[in-house]
Amino acid sequence: MGEEEGLHQTQLLDTMFVRGLKRKCFDGEEDIEGTLAGIKAVPSYNLQRQSLLDMSLVKLQLCHMLVEPNLCRSVLIANTVRQIQEEMTQDGTWQMINAQNTGQASLDRLVSTDILCRSSGDQAEGKHVPAYGTFNKDFESDQAQDGSETMSTASSVQAPRNLQSNMWEEMENPQENKGNFQKSLDQIFETLENKSPNSVEDLFSEVDNSYYDLDTMLTGMMTNTKMGHCDSLETFSSPTNTASNSNCKSDLNDLDHIVEILVES
């Protein structure tokens, strides 16, 4: 493909990326000018990448929560996550992430991702709306509680003890951040693996949940994925920590919009 054509492609994607925001804002609350003013130019590369990474992780987890995941979609999102991971490893972004104290900011990001989950969940799988509903409800109520309480009350039989303690360790030792991303990915995979006594293959093939009551399974998964999520978000705060929550939220909505268009089945 010629250079000119390639440029056209990138411009097209950038246009979709930035302008997609307009459409989302139009549906509701805020004044377009106000919102656009809050986003001065195309968001920084790192922020874009960060947001896409977080969102892809969430989508991946959501994919795997489905009883019958869309294989193509899972693979495409997982590959994107891997690609970003490699890039971040190469340009040394990993080291930068260490020192940041995320605290409140990460919770805010949890909020915006929660909204993200709800919107993509409703769009994607009509059959599974009840599952997403439950997911969001617990998600929100869990945030209000102390982390430790959530861990113990929601710890269902499914969550292996060692996995939980691993997660705890990571939350308390933010210095141990190198390779955390890969660990988070592995934890997600492990979680699903341990849920079913069968092989890792269940990650991508039909989930064999014949051993579990559907509700229990969802609770178990929500706990683990939430913890996994919390963990991964805490270890990666964006280096360019944006001032307002709405920027975060709208950027994520942007990306959500793009990725949904691209992988939507």
Partner 1 sequence: MSRAGGGNDIQWCFSQVKGAVDDDVAEADIISTVEFNHSGELLATGDKGGRVVIFQQEQENKTQSHSRGEYNVYSTFQSHEPEFDYLKSLEIEEKINKIRWLPQKNAAQFLLSTNDKTIKLWKISERDKRPEGYNLKEEDGRYRDPTTVTTLRVPVFRPMDLMVEASPRRIFANAHTYHINSISINSDYETYLSADDLRINLWHLEITDRSFNIVDIKPANMEELTEVITAAEFHPNSCSTFVYSSSKGTIRLCDMRASALCDRHSKLFEEPEDPSNRSFFSEIISSISDVKFSHSGRYMMTRDYLSVKIWDLNMENRPVETYQVLGENHFECCWNGSDSIVMTGSYNNFFRMFDRNSKRDITLEASRENNKPRTVLKPRKVCASGKRKKDEISVDSLDFNKKILHTAWHPKENIIAVATTNNLYIFQDKMN
Structural contact between residues 245 and 111, judged by C-beta atoms closer than 8 angstroms: yes
Q: What single DSSP character describes residue 106?
A: H
User: Min. distance of Cβ 73 from partner 1 in angstroms?
Assistant: 8
Distance between CA 211 and CA 186 in Å, rounded?
23
Distance between CA 36 and CA 209 in Å, rounded?
46
Q: Rule CB under 8 A: choose which of 63, 84, 159, 167 binds partner 1.
A: 84
Stretch that binds partner 1, among 100-108, 171-179, 231-239, 256-264 (CB under 8 A): 256-264
Distance between CA 189 and CA 205 in Å, rounded?
13
Lay out the site mask for partner 1 across 39-68 (x = CB under 8 A, - = otherwise). Answer: ---------xx--x--------------xx
Q: Which amino acid is at 146?
A: D
Q: Rule CB under 8 A: choose which of 182, 199, 240, 244 binds partner 1.
A: 199
Q: What are phi and psi of 174, to 5 degrees?
A: -65, -10
Distance between CA 9 and CA 49 in Å, rounded?
18
User: Min. distance of Cβ 118 from partner 1 in angstroms?
Assistant: 18
Instruction: Give the CA-trace dihedral at 236, 240, 241, 245, to 10 degrees.
Output: -110
User: Min. distance of Cβ 250 from partner 1 in angstroms?
Assistant: 15
What string of DSSP letters covers 196-230? SSS-GGGGTS----TTS-HHHHHHHHHHHHHHHHH
Stretch that binds partner 1, among 28-36, 106-114, 207-215, 233-241 (CB under 8 A): 207-215
Distance between CA 54 and CA 181 in Å, rounded?
11
User: Min. distance of Cβ 262 from partner 1 in angstroms?
Assistant: 5
Total residues in contact with partner 1, by rule CB under 8 A: 56
Of 185 and 233, nearer to partner 1 (C-beta) is 185
10 near partner 1 (CB under 8 A): yes
86 near partner 1 (CB under 8 A): no
User: Min. distance of Cβ 184 from partner 1 in angstroms?
Assistant: 14
Lay out the site mask for partner 1 across 121-140 (x = CB under 8 A, - = otherwise). Answer: -----xx-------------
Give the Cα-Cα-Cα angle 121, 123, 128 (nearest 5 degrees).
50
Note the residues at the interface with partner 1 (CB under 8 A): 1, 3, 5-6, 8-13, 15-16, 19, 22-23, 48-49, 52, 67-68, 70-73, 75-80, 82-84, 126-127, 189, 199-210, 214, 258-259, 261-265
